[in-house]
Amino acid sequence: MLLRCVESIANQTYSDIEVILVDNGSSDGSAERAGDILPKLRVIRNESNQGFAPACNQGAREARGDYLLFLNSDAVAEPNSVEELVRIASDNSIPVLQPLLVTGDGSVDSAGDLFTWSGFFWHLQEKPGKNHLQSIFATKGACMLVKRSVFAELDGFIDSYFAYFEEADLCWRARLRGYEVALAPSVVVLHIGGQTTSRILEPHQIYHLSFRNRLRSLICNPSRLSMIRILIGHLPACAATALVFLARGRIRVAFAILQALVWPVLNTGSIRTQRRKVQGSRKVGDAEVFRTDLRVPLSPERAGRLLTKTLGRWATTKDHG
């Protein structure tokens, strides 16, 4: 997958590209083979897996371009993808931009995320009716373009998130500073999805990171009143999800979710520091951050779909018992 990804970058029509590969402790020789495909490739080697967020920050610190394109190793970009993303971002002064992500069969993997007052984000998976820019609350990290100056202003991804929800958190913090986040549906990137973490993390670890990181952002990013409104619905929904997993015999996942809910209580210092930093740098109120076009009401039907997707994600027999 990595070699396909690198090859797609080598074939880009946009020539002024600096390519940095952060090798998170791989042992299969893929980084060396990637260098054969793209001789100008720069490799940053980590002895062990540092996590998605820290590795992206490593690469960003070494980059010198005006824009940063974060591209997962399981993504394949069309030849004009980089050129079009840079053009659209520059022409429209959009500092955070996502292309339309599609799966191997052509169906939509992600058209961005919208906010719901439940605290769970609504993942758009319908093909946009038009090819013009569309505002979204947050991007999917598999492929996202970020203006380097804005990324630096936000201090990048939060390292301690390790993986999951770090891109949504970054987009949320960008919106708190008045920056726009958008989908460029005219640019299409293939994304296989979930091929790396499912090999190195157990399902219960993935669920723990996902629920923990989202909860951290829900506590730290909104105003105090908005936080209370969100958590009133979010915490019971998480607890109910854990009970459903428990009833289905996925005991380790159930307890991983419950541990995620307890994490902020056991780490009040970290939460207090994170919230103080976010709130101290915000420039717009929640009325702008949660404006109507950036959120959707969570109807019973949508809630059911979210639960079904959560229960079926990373399904395996390894986390029983």
pLDDT at residue 309, as a whole number: 82
Given phi > 0 = left and psi -120 to 50 = alpha, else beta, which region is 202?
beta
Check whether residue 110 and residue 205 sit in a common domain.
no
pLDDT, one tens digit per residue, over 174-198 is: 999 999 999 999 999 999 876 566 6
Reported as type and span, the H/E element at residue 45 is strand 42-46
Domain that holds residue 123: 2-198
What is the reported pTM? 0.94
Kindly state the percentage of the chain with pLDDT values over 90: 81
pLDDT, one tens digit per residue, over 62-81 is: 999 999 999 999 999 999 99
Answer yes or no: is 321 within a domain.
Answer: no
Check whether residue 216 and residue 159 sit in a common domain.
no
Question: Would you mind telling me the total number of residues written for the chain in this entry?
Answer: 321
CA–CA separation, 178 and 175 (whole Å): 5
pLDDT, one tens digit per residue, over 244-283 is: 999 999 999 999 999 999 999 999 999 999 999 999 999 9
pLDDT band at 320 (very low <50, low <70, confident <90, very high): very low
pLDDT at residue 192, as a whole number: 86
Closest CA to 311 of 235, 261, 259, 248: 248
Check whether residue 23 and residue 161 sit in a common domain.
yes
Check whether residue 142 and residue 215 sit in a common domain.
no
Domain closes at, from 198, 230, 264: 198
Reported as type and span, the H/E element at residue 108 is strand 108-110
pLDDT at residue 317, as a whole number: 43
pLDDT at residue 90, as a whole number: 96
Reported as type and span, the H/E element at residue 97 is strand 96-102
Number of domains in the chain: 2
Answer yes or no: is 318 within a domain.
Answer: no
Check whether residue 147 and residue 221 sit in a common domain.
no
| C-alpha distance from residue 193 to each of 72, 145, 277, 295, 314 (Å) | 9, 18, 32, 24, 11
Q: What CATH number does residue 152 fall under?
A: 3.90.550.10
Kindly state the average pLDDT of the residues 142-169. 97
pLDDT at residue 117, as a whole number: 96
pLDDT, one tens digit per residue, over 110-151 is: 999 999 999 999 999 998 988 899 999 999 999 999 999 999
Closest CA to 150 of 179, 190, 110, 109: 179
Answer yes or no: is 320 within a domain.
Answer: no
pLDDT, one tens digit per residue, over 24-67 is: 988 888 888 998 999 899 999 999 999 999 999 999 999 999 99
Domain closes at, from 198, 214, 240: 198
pLDDT at residue 303, as a whole number: 86
Residues 46 and 55 sit within 8 Å (Cβ to Cβ) = yes
Kindly state the average pLDDT of the residues 214-231. 98
Query: Is the predicted pLDDT of residue 1 greater than 70, yes or no?
Result: yes
Kindly state the average pLDDT of the residues 90-101. 97
Report the mean per-residue pLDDT for the chain.
Answer: 93
CA–CA separation, 150 and 173 (whole Å): 11
Answer yes or no: is 319 within a domain.
Answer: no
Kindly state the percentage of the chain with pLDDT values over 70: 96
Check whether residue 189 and residue 208 sit in a common domain.
no
**Strand, helix or coil for residue 217:** helix
Answer yes or no: is 317 within a domain.
Answer: no
Domain closes at, from 170, 198, 226: 198
Check whether residue 112 and residue 213 sit in a common domain.
no
Q: Are strands 113-114 and 143-147 parallel, antiparallel or unpaired?
A: unpaired
Answer yes or no: is 256 within a domain.
Answer: yes
Check whether residue 210 and residue 265 sit in a common domain.
yes
Kindly state the average pLDDT of the residues 152-157. 98
Query: Is the predicted pLDDT of residue 321 greater than 60, yes or no?
Result: no
pLDDT, one tens digit per residue, over 6-23 is: 999 999 999 899 999 999
